[in-house]
Amino acid sequence: RTLLDDPEAVEAAIWFHDAIYDSRAKDNEAQSAALAEQKLAGRTDAGRLSRVSAMILATATHQLPLFDDAAATRDASLFLDMDLSILGADAVAFDAYERAVRREYGWVEEPMWRAGRGAVLKTFLARPHIFHTQEFQQRFEPQ
């Protein structure tokens, strides 16, 4: 929390980013962002709400949203890194996570699952760094 400029915005993004989740749907992030906008409208200012929505939408690709404000970009970087922190977990925790994700996608045939999951993981490995922030790079990328 001490690393964040707007911890309330990041906390809202954490709570809402998977509020709508259907493993068969392609618009979970958009629906979750819309729900956040609906539920938080009138409870926070428009700028914060826009940042919350942008962070939620960014979980679809884990690419940073374009903010004019460096502090908002840093908050989004930390939020996205938190969302991906399982990729730097120890082997036991990561394997348990992968089994849970596989169960969520139990409706997908095994060859398609392997191809799709492999493609997702390869996109992260193809980046110069999996994580956006030095804190997460130093802590989790050595694994």
State the Cα angle at 124 between 126 and 80, rounded to 5°: 140
With tokens 């509020």, the residue in question is 19
Ordered by start, the domain boundaries in the chain are 7-140
d(CA 63, CA 31): 18
d(CA 79, CA 25): 23
Q: What is the pLDDT of residues 37-57, one digit of tens each?
A: 999 999 999 999 999 999 999
What is the model's pTM?
A: 0.93
The predicted-structure confidence for 86-131, as pLDDT tens digits, reads as follows 999 999 999 999 999 999 999 999 999 999 999 999 999 999 999 9
